[in-house]
A and B are shown apart, each in its own frame.
Chain A
């Protein structure tokens, strides 16, 4: 991950990266001893308590399990926003915002892909930047 990206992603820290072709991917952890997979990254396995964890680059695309258009949230978040659970093929469920989509166009289990987004800002105006997901457009690879 580039230093600039790491610095900018103040919410996700080292839990997100970008491939050479620009594809945004979330980073989880895989247990070297029992193969348990978790997100966000962790230093101890919740299955076998091993501390032998490796960084796991997750699939860029997943499916929309459910979502909600949020109109009430603590200060700082850009309202309204779409909150969602996205299921990734590695059997990992991620809480994420859905961006760049008309909420009325969302469908259960539709494919979505990761991207970087600004989700709000703090009282000084500094942006909350993290991963988010957006519907896969027809024709996207």
Chain B
């Protein structure tokens, strides 16, 4: 397999754009990535477009706006991991030598559903009995709080940290700080989770251009290297499973670190799938940033804030940047690219050399998560 690098990145601010079409939300992100790469559009050999609920032919609908057509356009659905999956497939194609230069898009328009919890597949047994995503995370939260002695304050502080980072990110949906008291006073969604413990619903798009490392030299003096790519489905289990330990992330992280030949201590920053506040704490542990049960302490010590030992979600994460689900995987990668290039202003993680993205997707009975994709990048 060949080495692969990112040469261009772009995204639109996440927010609510009910009056725009999916294509109109997305094309500015794609153009930004193409211009950032300095690549001729005719040199793009294929496009992988991730969207969970964007409907048929999302990639074609977006790319016709920019006249990037007449090439393979592959549309990919994998719930909230749709575009991290698209990135992984694009990486495989370039690493294998099938293409030299490929565009990856993540896009979603959730305002078309008019708000509320994410619409899930009704054929699923638990969904047919009233399961919603906040319920799943709330049950993880309650069990984790019970087993490790956490308080409501510990969970609220994740949201406080996320919103603080989001203030510094002009692409974030929420750019206002919140206090612990405001989080705890927000309306209940799925006890113990309140509204401010939950990522917002919204719209957005992100895009990157990737090349073989050899080709990347043509476009960028400082390409960002992809040093690890991993994806897995969850293991279907009908019986007891430990909901405080996200098995799919644990398994994926172990495999990824082994393949990349580095460990969690080598990671300078991470963008993780904090769809609900409890999730980020579970992922500190699953990704090896701290020992089991120590996540709240890592947060309280400021180690996962910008300026700490391992800043997590400097972009504001899903909680503050927003979570138009199919866009998230690529948007996380855009943040890592900008961080490794030193373009992030007040939220810059100083001296960052290695960044990690972690994106899950769930909503199917019997899985911890349906899918999880983790990537490692270096400058």
Chain A residues engaging chain B, CB cutoff 8 angstroms: 11, 36-40, 46, 65-74, 77, 80-81, 83-85, 87, 91-93, 95-97, 103, 108, 119-120, 130
Which label, helix, strand, loop or mixed, suits the secondary structure of the A interface? Answer: strand
Report the nearest B residue to A119, measured CB to CB. Answer: B130
Determine the distance from Cα of A93 to Cα of B126 in the docked complex, in whole angstroms: 11
Report the nearest A residue to B365, measured CB to CB. Answer: A95
Report the nearest B residue to A79, measured CB to CB. Answer: B130
Interface residue from B117, B131, B143 paired with A72 (Cβ < 8 Å): B117
**A93–B130 contact, CB under 8 A?**
no
**B189–A83 contact, CB under 8 A?**
no
Interface residue from B125, B131, B143 paired with A66 (Cβ < 8 Å): B143
Number of A-B contacts (CB under 8 A): 100
Q: Could you mark each residue 186-212 of chain B with 1 if its beta carbon is under 8 Å from any beta carbon of chain A, else 0?
A: 011111110000000000000000000
Interface residue from A68, A71, A93, A119 paired with B238 (Cβ < 8 Å): A93
- Which of B25-33, B72-80, B133-141, B306-314 faces chain A? B133-141
**A92 cross-chain contacts in B, Cβ below 8 A:** 238-239
Determine the distance from Cα of A98 to Cα of B215 in the docked complex, in whole angstroms: 59
Chain B residues engaging chain A, CB cutoff 8 angstroms: 116-117, 119, 125-126, 128-132, 134-135, 138-140, 142-143, 146, 187-193, 236-241, 243, 365
Interface residue from A39, A65, A97 paired with B130 (Cβ < 8 Å): A97
**A95–B129 contact, CB under 8 A?**
yes
**B189–A93 contact, CB under 8 A?**
no
Determine the distance from Cα of A131 to Cα of B130 in the docked complex, in whole angstroms: 12
Minimum CB–CB distance from B266 to chain A (whole Å) comes to 35
Determine the distance from Cα of A97 to Cα of B119 in the docked complex, in whole angstroms: 19
Listed residue (A36, A71, A81, A96) with the most chain B CB atoms within 10 angstroms of its CB: A71
Interface residue from A40, A65, A73, A96 paired with B243 (Cβ < 8 Å): A65
Listed residue (A85, A108, A119) with the most chain B CB atoms within 10 angstroms of its CB: A85
Determine the distance from Cα of A77 to Cα of B135 in the docked complex, in whole angstroms: 13
**A72–B130 contact, CB under 8 A?**
no
**A11 cross-chain contacts in B, Cβ below 8 A:** 128-129
**B188–A67 contact, CB under 8 A?**
no
**B132–A85 contact, CB under 8 A?**
no
Determine the distance from Cα of A81 to Cα of B131 in the docked complex, in whole angstroms: 11
Determine the distance from Cα of A85 to Cα of B139 in the docked complex, in whole angstroms: 8
Given contacts A40-B125, A72-B116, A72-B117, contact A66 B130 (CB under 8 A): no
Determine the distance from Cα of A130 to Cα of B130 in the docked complex, in whole angstroms: 11
Report the nearest A residue to B120, measured CB to CB. Answer: A74
Given contacts A95-B126, A97-B130, contact A66 B142 (CB under 8 A): yes
Determine the distance from Cα of A40 to Cα of B127 in the docked complex, in whole angstroms: 13
**B189 cross-chain contacts in A, Cβ below 8 A:** 70-72
Determine the distance from Cα of A83 to Cα of B191 in the docked complex, in whole angstroms: 10
**A37 cross-chain contacts in B, Cβ below 8 A:** 238-239
Listed residue (A36, A46, A70, A119) with the most chain B CB atoms within 10 angstroms of its CB: A70
Interface residue from B131, B139, B239 paired with A67 (Cβ < 8 Å): B139
Given contacts A92-B239, A93-B238, contact A68 B129 (CB under 8 A): no
Report the nearest A residue to B115, measured CB to CB. Answer: A72
Contacts A37-B238, A66-B143, A97-B130 given; 6 further ones with Cβ under 8 A? Answer: A65-B139, A70-B189, A71-B188, A73-B132, A91-B240, A108-B142
Determine the distance from Cα of A71 to Cα of B190 in the docked complex, in whole angstroms: 6
**A87 cross-chain contacts in B, Cβ below 8 A:** 240
